[in-house]
Amino acid sequence: MTNVLFSKAEFYTTVNHLRDLPKEPGVEIAFAGRSNAGKSSAINTLAGRGRFAFVSKTPGRTQHINFFQLGTRRFIVDLPGYGYAKVPLAIRQHWTELLSRYLQTRETLFGMVLIMDIRHPIMPLDVQMLEWFALTKKPVHILLSKADKINRSKAAETLRLVRNYLAAHQIAGSAQIFSSMTSEGKDEAILLLANWLESGEQALQMADTETGQKKSPVKGD
């Protein structure tokens, strides 16, 4: 698949407080995951650019929300990795507040891609992320990363486990096998992102139309 989705991608902004989030309307897809689950590698693989998401790992930005623009009013949002034990308590508490409020209250957020290490799926903090996001009724897609680290039968077994978890907990989600090393699952993930962005843009256009109609003056006799 020719990756036109990321052809105009560029770093947009980084924020550390909800008050600094971009104000202009758009469609956002958030990427979340435990530290070392392969989130940045997944974004880089999907973008087809090495070190594309490297900015999120530079000193001073590790606890920030990083926005990448994919053309007009389209954004990939790289959320801070969670679960890193050496991070000071105050920063972990800040992350918790920032992530939970962003995921639950951001109107322009269309869906979340949650990256899990396929060898360690559905960890307690992953469950917390899913519970936070489930309240929005928006879609979540799980990338089971590092699939090249285990055999095919084990990967398929883990995929079934995760899909059964989503169904059992009535979470509006899907899951797939993914590997940044081999690019397995890349086309499938890009297609899903493209569909999400298109759906989000259609909803945005409808909202723009409704807003325009409300602002239109009423014609008199």
Q: What are phi and psi of 48, to 5 degrees?
A: 70, 25
**What is the per-residue pLDDT for 209?**
78
Cα separation, 218 vs 221, in Å, equals: 10
pLDDT along the chain (221 residues), means of 10: 78 90 92 91 88 52 80 91 73 81 93 97 93 93 97 98 96 96 96 95 82 59 44
This prediction has a pTM of: 0.88
* CA–CA dist 17, 80 (Å, integer): 12
Residue 29: which of 108, 96, 125 has the closest Cα? 108
Neighbours of 87 (CB within 10 A): 18
Determine how β-strand 65-70 pairs with β-strand 74-78. antiparallel
**What pLDDT sits at residue 54?**
56
CB 145 within 8 A of CB 113: no
CA dist 3 and 1 (Å) reads 6
Q: Which residues pair with 204 in a beta bridge?
A: none
Level-2 CATH architecture, domain 9-215 = 3-Layer(aba) Sandwich (3.40)
Q: What is the pLDDT of residue 214?
A: 63
Q: Where are the domains of the chain?
A: 9-215
